[in-house]
Amino acid sequence: MNKIEKLHILQVNEQDKSETDDTVVREFSLTIILNNHELATLLCSPTNLEYLAIGFLSSEGLLKSKDEIAKITVEESKGIVQVGTRGGKEAASEPLPMPIIGSGGGRGLHRYGADANTSYAKINSQTRISAHEVFTLVKEFIHRSEVFKATGGVHSAALCNTQDILVFNEDIGRHNAIDKVFGQCILEDIPPDDRIIITSGRVSSEILLKVARRNIPILISKSAPTNLGVRLADDLGITLIGFVRGRKMNLYANSWRVDLAEHG
């Protein structure tokens, strides 16, 4: 299904109205069913729905590896992804936790709170990156975000090493874009550990914890973090780079991983 839709609109200034063609992003409603249990409905872009479903389940701690997946069925016309897991009976009978409703695309079924970092291991990776590599990766990342350029309404996320973008996904939701990246990692056996995540969106606590769950040592955003995003990055040993614009960036936490000169 196409990510965008063409429309006739009126463009207006104070003197004139003129009819023109415009492009808007598509919004799709996807219900995720785990072991015959309706878990949640995500509003998303209608692409890579199996990545989104698997990444969402993994972010929620309901799925850890590809081996656990017995079956994935995407019914695009109905807006449904069914996931069956091995030994999934117990999961289906557990009650749903209270929803956590995020700030800007926020979502999740678990409580991320003041004590959330106690259940996340501190990241000790010795991975480093140079400022030059950050600028080069972000430039390539922006180049790939074509839908964003067309409509102004889409987020992107990527898994990278210091040289290349390995996995790239887009969605109208910044959480979904990241979940798609991690879902693709699971389904295509790409280990995310010790890699770098780039996101177009704001780094809130939820985004930080999504990344911490996958042992990512370096998180790069084109946008600003929140205070909790910074605090969690600090506590969990994640290098948090924000506001990358042109040849400038801000280092919010664990700046020791960023070198001015080329490394290696």
- Look up residue 249 and give its two tokens: 């960036």
Q: What's the CA gap between 156 and 199, in Å, rounded?
A: 6
Nearer to a second copy, 7 or 191 (CB): 7
Nearer to a second copy, 69 or 129 (CB): 129
State the minimum distance, in angstroms, from the CB of residue 245 to a second copy.
10
Q: What's the CA gap between 14 and 185, in Å, rounded?
A: 50
Of 130, 200, 195, 204, the C-alpha closest to 171 is 200
State the minimum distance, in angstroms, from the CB of residue 174 to a second copy.
7
State the minimum distance, in angstroms, from the CB of residue 239 to a second copy.
11
Q: Quick check: 34 and 57 in contact, CB under 8 A?
A: yes
Q: What is the DSSP letter of 170?
A: E
- Look up residue 38 and give its two tokens: 């309706």
Nearer to a second copy, 65 or 260 (CB): 260
Cα-to-chain-centroid distance, residue 92: 26
Nearer to a second copy, 7 or 193 (CB): 7
State the minimum distance, in angstroms, from the CB of residue 67 to a second copy.
26
